[in-house]
C-alpha cells in the first residue's frame, strides 16, 4: 500500500504473493481490484502472453491492478480509501544522519513566469549562492509549482569565470548555458528528490560552485496560454564535508535518426576506451545511474567493458518509462578505470510514427543519454563522454583539428583554401540537380578532403539542415557535391543488370524520364548562363522554387524574344562588362550587378563564385514585383502554370494512345532542407507500348525540386517495374 514499497500489501500484492510471486495465467486473468478489468489488461498484457524478461504487448495507457478505477467513480467509492493522494514526502537518510547545526539549505526558484503556449520550452536562470564557506551538497529536493507543465529540472554548476550573464531572470535557452556545464542536480517526473551516497557531496562555495544555473523543461502539448510556473529546487548543504567531491558523467549518443514504422530500433553510443583514457586521470567510482529517453523509448541499458570483456550492466531498464524513471543506487560503488568502455544502448519503437524522428529537445523528438554520479570529480577532466555517430563528441569543444579536418574553418569561405575549394566545386558543378561531365572528377577529388570523410561530412550536413539560412553557402556547396551521386554510383555497378543489395542504383537500368521541361531546356542556353554571375540561379519572381533559366529572354526556359536585360546583354557583346553590371536594365532602382550578386562589379567569367550567391533577383524584371512602381512593367511575365505541348502526341491517332499516371499518395514532407523519397509502381501492361512523352503532375511546387523515373529489371533481365525518385526541398 506504500507507493515506495514495503509494508502491508494491496489486493494485487496479496494475489501476487499467493501466486508464488510469479506472473501466472491465473493471476493475469484475475481482477484483483474488482473494477471490471483483468490484471493483464491493466498491466499491458491483455492476452496473458508476457514472460519475465520480455517486453509487454502494451506499454502505455496502463492502470494499477490493485486500485479500483475510475478512481472516484460510484463503483470504486469506498474501495480506495487506503490510497494516499497527498504528495510524496521526501525522505533522505543522509539528512537524518547530520547534526541540525551542520545543515543549511538554499532554495533556488523561478519567479512566477508565464509558460509559452507551445509544446516544448526550455527556460534557464542563474543564481548566486552567496556562500562564503565551503559546503557539500548532499541532497536536492524539488519544489513543483505547476505539475501540469513541469517535465524536468537540471541544475548546473557554473565555472569561476561566470560571474553574471543575461540569465538573471528566466529566459528561453537551449540545452545549457556557456560556462555552466557541470550537472549537479536532476529532477524528472516520477522522482521525489536526490539523496547522495554517504561518501560524496557536491562542493559548493569557496573553491567549489558559487553560482548555479537552473534549467526547466516545460511540456505544454495543449498550447494553453494561462499557465505560469515558479518551481525550483532546495539544495541541502552540510558543513560536515564528505570524503569525496562528486560529479555527474553524461554518456550516450548525440546523433539519432529513427525510421518510422519500426517495432524496434537500437541506437548505440560509446564512451570508448581511448576516450576514457583521455578524460580520466585515475579511477572513479559510480554511485548512481539513471537512463533518459523520450516517449518512443522502450528499453535501455548501460554496460561496462574492460579489455573487450563485459563486466556488468550499470543500468538495465528492460521496460523503460519516460514518466517513471528508475534510479539505480550502488551501495557498493562501481569502479571505472581509464581504458574502460561504457556502452549505452537505447531501444525505440516508432510503429506509430509516419516520419523520421531525430535527436532533439522536444518530447516528440528523442534522446539517448545516461547520467552517472561519480567520485572523485578531480579524476575526470570532462564530465561528458558521448559519441556523435562514431566521433568523440567532446573533441568539438577542445580540438581545432579532428581526424585531419580543421573543422572550425571548413565553413569559412573568407579563408583562401576554403574559398578555392568552393570555387572549384561551384564553377564545375551545378547545385540545381544537373550532373555536368566536368563535375565528376572534381567531386572525387574534393571527397578526399579530411572534412569530407565519413562522419565529419555528415556533421557539416547536419549543421546545414538545422540552420540553412546561416549556412546557405554550404547548402549550395553540398547540393553541387550531390549532383552526380547517381552517375558516380553507376560507375561501380556491374555491367549487366542484377538485383543485389539494398541500393536502388543496382536495380536501375535505363533512365527513362526527363526532369520537368524548364530544366531539360537548360542545356541549350548553358553557355550564356556561365557568362553572367549566378546565371543558373536567378529566381522566378512569382513561381516558388523555379529558376528563370533564360535570364535574357521573356520565356523563362530561354529562347525567343529578349527582355530588356537580354537586349542590354546583347549590346554589350554578350559579355559581363563594367557598364552592363552598373546598368539598371529594369529601372527598379537596383543595378544588374546588385540583382545578380556582383554589387561591386568584380566578377569575371570563369573566375569563381560571385561575391553573393543568395537573395538574388532578376535584372530584367522590375522588383518588388507587385509594387506600385512595377505595376504595368511586368505584364509580359507569365505567372500561370506552363502548359505542356508535345508534337509527338498530336501526331498520334487518339485510339492508339493511352496514359498511366504514377503519383505518390499524400505524403508528409519532412522538416529538413533536402529529402529523396522513392516509390515503385507495377504498370500492369499486358501488351507492349512505347513511352513517347512524360508530363509532370506537380501537387506542391513549394517543395518539389525534381523527379527521376527509373526502369527496373529482375535478375533475368526482364523489366519488372518503374521506380520514381523525388527530390523535395523546403527552404522556408
Claim to verify: residue 543 and residue 626 sit in the same structural domain: yes
* Residue 518 or residue 355, greater confidence: 355
Long-range contacts of 526-531 (CB under 8 A, 24+ apart): 528/552, 528/574, 530/605, 530/606, 531/574, 531/575, 531/576, 531/605
Residue 675 neighbours by CB distance under 10 Å: 17
What is the chain's mean pLDDT, rounded?
Answer: 84
Confidence at residue 3, expressed as pLDDT on a 0 to 100 scale: 63
Q: What is the pLDDT of residue 722?
A: 52
pLDDT of residue 545: 57
Question: Under DSSP, is residue 292 helix (H, G, I), strand (E, B) or coil?
Answer: strand
Q: Are 149 and 216 in contact (CB under 8 A)?
A: no
Distance, CA of 409 to CA of 414 (rounded, Å): 9
* Nearest CA among 491, 483, 411, 423 for reference residue 452: 411
Instruction: Return the C-alpha cell found at 303.
Output: 554496460
Band the pLDDT of 62: cuts 50, 70, 90: confident
Helix (H, G, I), strand (E, B) or coil at 719: strand
Hey, what's the cell of 216?
A: 526547466
| Residue 710 vs residues 24, 508, 518, 624: alpha-carbon distances, Å | 55, 6, 20, 41
Domain count, the chain: 6
3-state secondary structure 155-208: EEECCCCCCCCCCCCCEECCCCECCECEEEEEEECCCCCEECCCCEEEEECCCC
pLDDT at residue 315, as a whole number? 96
- Concatenated DSSP letters of 43-61: TT-TTS---TTSPPS--SS
The mean pLDDT of 537-544, rounded to a whole number, is 79
pTM for this predicted structure: 0.54
* 108-166 confidence digits (pLDDT tens): 999 999 999 998 888 999 999 989 899 999 999 999 999 889 988 989 888 777 766 67
Spatial contact of 540 and 547, defined as CB atoms under 8 Å apart:
yes
Q: Specify the pLDDT at position 677.
A: 83
Query: 189, 214, 245: which is the final residue of a domain?
Result: 245
Give the model's pLDDT for residue 5: 54
Whether residues 578 and 720 share a domain: the answer is: no
Do 180 and 254 have their domain in common?
no
State the alpha helices, DSSP H only, in 98-150: none
Q: Are 178 and 165 in contact (CB under 8 A)?
A: yes
> Residue 380: what pLDDT?
93
Q: Could you tell me if 583 and 656 lie in one domain? A: no
For residue 624, is the peptide bond before it cis, meaning its omega torsion is within 30 degrees of 0?
A: yes
pLDDT of residue 715 exceeding 50, the answer is no
Three-state DSSP state, 335: strand
Rounded CA-CA distance 89/640 in Å is 69
Instruction: Please state the φ and ψ torsions of residue 482, each to the nearest 5 degrees.
Output: -85, -5
Percent of all residues in the chain with a pLDDT value above 90, rounded to a whole number: 45
Residues 347 and 304 reside in one and the same domain: yes
The CB density around residue 268, as the number of other CB atoms within 10 Å, is 12
pLDDT above 90 (res 107): yes
Q: Which residues contact 611 (CB under 8 A, 6 or more apart)?
A: 597, 598, 599, 600, 602, 603
The one-character DSSP state at 409 is T
Cα–Cα distance for residue pair 707/602, rounded to 1 Å: 36
More confident residue, 510 or 307: 307
Q: Which of 591, 625, 643 is the last residue of a domain?
A: 643
Tell whether the model's pLDDT for residue 28 goes beyond 70.
Answer: yes
Q: According to the per-residue pLDDT averaged within each range, which of 22-26, 195-199, 509-513 is highest?
A: 22-26
Name the percent of the chain lying above pLDDT 70. Answer: 86
416-428 helix and 472-481 helix, angle to the nearest 10 degrees: 50
User: Does residue 540 share a domain with residue 630?
Assistant: yes
Neighbours of 419 (CB within 10 A): 14
Instruction: Please indicate, yes or no, whether residues 114 and 239 belong to a single structural domain of this protein.
Output: yes
| Model pLDDT, residue 163 | 66
Residue 459 grid coordinates: 556533421
Rounded Cα distance, 713 and 507, in Å: 6
3-state secondary structure of 71: coil
What are the cell numbers at 548? 528563370
Whether residue 662 sits in one domain with residue 518: yes
The CATH number covering residue 296 comes to 2.60.120.230
Which SS3 state, helix, strand or coil, does residue 339 take?
Answer: coil
Closest CA to 158 of 150, 168, 145: 168
CB-based burial, 370-391: b 16+ in 10 Å, e otherwise: bbbbbbbbebbeebbbbbbbeb
Q: State the cell numbers at 239.
A: 558543513
Q: Has residue 527 got a pLDDT over 90?
A: no
140 forms bridges with which residues in the sheet?
Answer: 194, 235
- Of 643, 662, 682, which marks where a domain is finished? 643
Quick one: CA dihedral 544, 546, 550, 553, positive or negative? negative
| pLDDT tens digits, 265-301 | 999 999 999 999 999 999 999 999 989 898 899 999 9
347/575 Cα distance (integer angstroms): 61
Report the DSSP beta bridge partners of residue 139: 195, 236
pLDDT band for position 681 (50/70/90)? confident
**Sign of the CA dihedral 453, 455, 456, 458?**
positive
Question: Domain containing 155: what range?
Answer: 93-245
Residues 58 and 44 in one domain: yes
Q: How confident is the model at residue 180 (pLDDT cuts 50, 70, 90)?
A: confident
* pLDDT score of 385 more than 90: yes
Cell numbers 570563369: residue: 606
Residue 451 predicted with pLDDT over 90? yes
The listed range with the strongest mean pLDDT (80-84, 173-177, 200-204, 396-400) is: 200-204
Do 355 and 269 belong to one domain? Answer: yes
Q: Between the ranges 323-332, 449-458, 531-540, where is the mean pLDDT highest?
A: 449-458
The CATH number linked to 120 is 2.60.120.310
Same domain, 147 and 282: no
Q: Per residue in 603-659, pLDDT tens?
A: 998 777 888 887 889 999 998 888 888 878 888 887 765 566 787 788 888 888 888
Cell 518588388 identifies what position? 624
pLDDT-based confidence at 176, cuts 50/70/90? low
Give the other-Cβ count within 10 Å of 557's Cβ: 20
d(CA 342, CA 252): 9
Do 69 and 200 sit in the same domain of this protein? Answer: no
How far apart are the C-alpha atoms of 471 and 58, rounded to whole Å? 43
Amino acid at each position: 500500500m506504500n507507493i515506495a514499497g514495503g509494508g502491508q500489501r494491496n489486493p494485487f500484492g496479496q494475489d501476487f504473493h499467493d501466486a508464488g510471486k510469479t506472473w501466472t495465467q491465473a493471476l493475469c486473468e484475475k481482477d484483483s481490484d474488482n473494477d471490471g478489468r483483468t490484471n493483464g489488461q491493466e498491466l499491458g498484457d491483455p492476452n496473458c502472453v508476457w514472460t519475465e524478461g520480455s517486453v509487454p504487448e502494451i506499454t502505455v495507457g496502463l492502470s494499477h491492478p490493485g486500485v479500483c478505477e475510475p478512481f472516484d467513480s460510484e463503483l470504486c467509492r469506498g474501495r480506495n480509501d487506503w490510497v494516499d493522494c497527498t504528495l510524496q514526502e521526501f525522505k533522505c537518510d543522509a539528512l537524518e544522519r547530520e547534526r541540525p547545526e551542520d545543515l543549511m539549505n538554499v532554495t533556488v526558484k523561478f519567479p512566477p513566469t508565464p509558460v509559452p503556449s507551445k509544446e516544448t520550452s526550455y527556460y534557464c536562470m542563474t543564481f548566486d549562492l552567496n556562500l562564503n564557506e565551503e559546503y557539500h551538497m548532499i541532497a536536492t529536493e524539488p519544489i513543483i509549482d505547476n505539475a501540469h507543465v513541469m517535465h524536468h529540472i537540471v541544475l548546473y554548476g557554473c565555472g569561476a569565470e561566470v560571474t553574471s550573464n543575461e540569465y538573471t531572470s528566466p529566459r528561453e535557452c537551449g540545452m545549457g548555458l556557456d560556462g555552466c556545464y557541470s550537472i549537479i542536480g536532476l529532477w524528472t517526473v516520477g522522482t521525489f528528490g536526490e539523496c547522495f551516497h554517504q561518501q560524496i557531496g557536491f562542493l559548493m562555495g569557496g573553491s567549489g560552485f558559487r553560482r548555479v544555473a537552473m534549467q526547466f523543461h516545460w511540456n505544454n502539448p495543449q498550447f494553453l496560454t494561462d499557465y505560469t510556473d515558479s518551481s525550483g529546487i532546495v539544495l541541502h548543504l552540510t558543513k560536515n564535508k564528505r570524503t569525496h567531491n562528486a560529479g555527474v558523467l553524461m554518456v550516450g549518443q548525440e546523433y539519432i535518426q529513427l525510421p518510422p514504422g519500426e517495432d524496434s530500433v537500437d541506437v548505440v553510443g560509446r564512451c570508448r576506451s581511448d576516450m576514457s583514457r583521455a578524460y580520466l586521470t585515475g579511477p572513479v567510482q559510480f554511485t548512481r545511474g539513471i537512463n533518459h529517453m523520450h516517449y518512443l523509448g522502450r528499453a535501455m541499458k548501460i554496460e561496462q567493458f574492460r579489455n573487450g570483456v563485459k563486466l556488468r550492466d550499470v543500468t538495465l531498464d528492460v521496460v523503460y518509462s519516460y514518466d517513471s524513471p528508475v534510479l539505480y543506487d550502488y551501495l557498493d560503488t562501481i569502479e571505472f578505470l581509464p581504458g574502460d568502455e561504457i556502452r549505452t544502448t537505447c531501444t525505440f519503437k516508432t510503429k506509430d510514427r509516419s516520419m523520421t524522428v531525430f535527436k532533439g529537445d522536444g518530447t516528440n523528438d528523442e534522446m539517448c543519454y545516461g547520467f552517472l554520479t561519480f567520485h572523485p570529480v578531480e579524476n575526470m577532466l570532462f564530465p561528458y563522454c558521448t559519441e556523435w555517430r562514431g566521433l568523440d563528441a567532446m573533441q568539438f569543444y577542445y580540438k581545432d583539428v579532428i581526424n585531419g579536418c580543421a573543422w572550425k574553418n571548413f565553413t569559412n569561405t573568407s579563408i583562401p583554401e576554403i574559398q578555392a575549394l568552393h570555387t572549384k566545386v561551384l564553377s564545375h558543378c551545378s547545385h540545381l540537380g544537373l550532373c555536368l561531365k566536368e563535375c565528376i572528377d572534381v567531386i572525387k577529388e574534393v571527397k578526399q578532403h579530411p572534412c569530407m570523410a565519413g562522419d565529419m561530412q555528415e556533421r557539416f550536413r547536419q549543421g546545414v539542415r538545422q540552420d540553412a539560412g546561416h549556412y546557405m553557402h554550404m547548402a549550395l556547396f553540398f547540393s553541387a557535391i550531390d549532383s552526380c551521386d547517381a552517375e558516380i554510383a553507376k560507375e561501380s555497378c556491374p555491367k549487366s543488370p542484377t538485383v543485389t543489395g539494398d541500393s536502388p542504383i543496382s536495380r536501375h537500368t535505363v533512365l527513362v524520364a526527363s526532369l520537368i521541361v524548364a530544366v531539360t531546356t537548360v542545356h541549350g542556353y548553358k553557355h550564356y548562363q556561365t557568362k553572367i554571375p549566378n546565371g543558373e540561379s536567378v529566381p522566378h519572381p512569382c513561381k516558388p522554387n523555379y529558376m528563370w533559366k533564360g535570364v535574357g529572354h521573356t520565356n523563362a526556359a530561354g529562347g525567343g524574344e529578349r527582355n530588356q536585360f537580354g537586349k542590354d546583354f546583347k549590346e554589350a557583346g554578350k559579355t559581363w562588362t563594367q557598364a552592363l553590371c552598373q546598368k539598371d536594365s529594369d529601372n527598379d532602382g537596383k543595378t544588374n550587378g546588385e540583382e545578380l550578386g556582383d554589387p561591386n562589379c568584380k566578377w569575371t567569367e570563369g573566375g569563381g563564385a560571385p561575391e553573393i550567391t543568395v537573395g538574388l533577383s532578376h535584372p530584367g524584371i522590375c522588383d518588388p514585383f507587385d509594387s506600385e512602381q512595377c505595376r504595368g512593367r511586368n505584364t509580359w511575365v507569365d505567372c500561370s502554370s506552363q502548359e505542356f505541348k508535345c508534337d509527338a502526341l498530336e501526331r498520334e491517332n487518339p485510339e492508339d494512345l493511352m496514359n498511366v499516371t504514377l503519383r505518390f499518395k499524400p505524403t508528409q514532407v519532412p522538416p529538413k532542407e533536402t529529402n529523396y523519397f522513392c516509390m515503385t509502381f507495377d504498370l500492369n501492361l499486358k501488351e507492349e507500348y512505347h513511352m513517347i512523352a512524360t508530363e509532370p503532375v506537380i501537387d506542391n511546387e513549394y517543395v518539389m525540386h525534381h523527379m527521376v523515373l527509373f526502369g527496373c529489371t529482375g535478375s533475368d533481365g526482364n523489366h519488372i517495374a518503374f521506380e520514381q525518385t523525388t527530390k523535395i526541398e523546403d527552404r522556408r
